[in-house]
Structure formats: structure tokens, C-alpha cells
Amino acid sequence: MLMMRARSDRRIQAAIFDLDGTLTDTVSVWQHLHEKFGTWEVGRRTAEMYHDGLIDYAQWARLDAQCWKGLPLSRVLLSLDGIRYTPGAREAIEQLRNHEVRTGIVSAGLSILADKAKVDLNVDLSVSNELEVRNGVLTGEVIVRVGPGNKTGVIEEAAWLLGAEMQETVVIGDNAFDIPEGAGLRIAYKPTTLQTRAAADVIIEENDIRAVVDHILR
């Protein structure tokens, strides 16, 4: 663990977690679905198009969603069974709840996983992107609520919904856009880039997310 800068003196009222790679062991639920349903070659190309600046995040999401058009939602939900929560995730959320810290998930991933995590981990709020379903079948469309470009604004709104100002909010994630500057405490959990490390107040490399709790409650 490494402290990068002093945290706000205001008591933390809310904790907002990233999901993929933070509360779960999958780097991307999008990639997980591609690999499960044999569409990763298409997914790899759309990812390259996004990273090369040829399409924006919403276009990328829609191209990916089209790959799964016609799949029964029940089959998609079953495919999530292989995703595991990060060690200590349930305990960390419970400890925060016991100290009256409200919790949220804001994810650029998919609601099929974020909403499941909300229930499984007893989180107060989740915001993510939603695959459109009609008559129990994926339509190939997606409602895009969260992407790297607007995640800060969504986190700010989530903090407000949880009854906290940003200076009273801790953010936890593995990418720089998961931990916006205005938060009272920014924790990089197993960060994926040097940019994420530079943005953080605290860096945690341990494979147990309970390590964040002491920093939040101090």
C-alpha cells in the first residue's frame, strides 16, 4: 500500500466501487461474454477500433451488443456463473455498512452483472449499461449509461443519490476514470496503468479488497 497525498478531513459518507477488475475477478464482462459465446474475434476488432479512436464508447458498446442478438437472457445470465467476486468483497461492504457508509457500484460494464453484484454484496446502488431484452431475448441493442468519458459525472450523481458530497465520497477502482479528482479519497485497487497510480491517494496491491476499509474509516 502507498499513500500518495493527504485525504480530505471530512468523514466518508459513501463508497463508490468500480466492478470489473475491482469487485470481480473479470477484467471486462463484455470480453467475458464474447469468450463465452464465441464472438471474441469480432470483440477484439471493435476494441481496437475504439482504442484507435475510430468509434466512440457508445458505438463500441452497440457493436458488441449486436454480436449477441437473439440469445436468450437466461443463457446469458448462466454464463456469469464463472465470474467470482474479489476476495473480501462481501466483508468489505458489510464493514462499511456497519459504519454507516453507504455503497454504490458505477460500472462501464453491464447491468446483468452489476445488478447481480448489488444484490449478492448488499450494495445500496448500481449504475451501468443495459442490454435490451424483449420477450426474454437480447435484441442486439444496448442502453449506454456509463463510459470512460462520462463516468465522473455518473459517480457524482451516484454520490448525491447516496446522500453524500464528493468530498465525503471514496472512489475505488483499477483505472484512472474510476477515481475522479473531486472525490474525498481515491483508492487505486490493483491499478492497471501508471496514470491510475498517479491519480490515486492510496494504492492497494493486495488480493483482498478488505484492505480498503481501514483507509476509508480512519
Mean of per-residue pLDDT scores for the chain:
95
Mean pLDDT computed over 97-111? 97
pLDDT in tens, 35-48: 999 999 999 999 99
Is the pLDDT reported for residue 4 higher than 60?
Answer: no
Is the Cα dihedral 176, 177, 178, 181 positive or negative?
A: positive
> What is the structure's pLDDT at 9?
59
Structural domains of the chain, with CATH = 2-25+85-217 (3.40.50.1000)
Q: CA angle, corner 41, sides to 147 and 83, nearest 5?
A: 60
Three cell numbers, residue 208:
483482498
Burial class (CB in 10 A: 0-12, 13-18, 19+), 78: exposed
15 close to 172: Cβ distance less than 8 angstroms:
yes
Share of residues in the chain with pLDDT > 70 (%) = 95
> What is the structure's pLDDT at 218?
83
Higher pLDDT, 102 or 2: 102
pLDDT in tens, 56-78: 999 999 999 999 999 999 999 99
Is the pLDDT reported for residue 3 higher than 50?
Answer: no
End-to-end CA distance of the chain: 15
DSSP 14: E
Give the pLDDT band of residue 199 (cuts 50, 70, 90): very high
Is the pLDDT reported for residue 2 higher than 80?
Answer: no
pLDDT in tens, 129-188: 999 999 999 999 999 999 999 999 999 999 999 999 999 999 999 999 999 999 999 999
Is the pLDDT reported for residue 88 higher than 60?
Answer: yes
> What is the structure's pLDDT at 6?
47
115 close to 136: Cβ distance less than 8 angstroms:
no
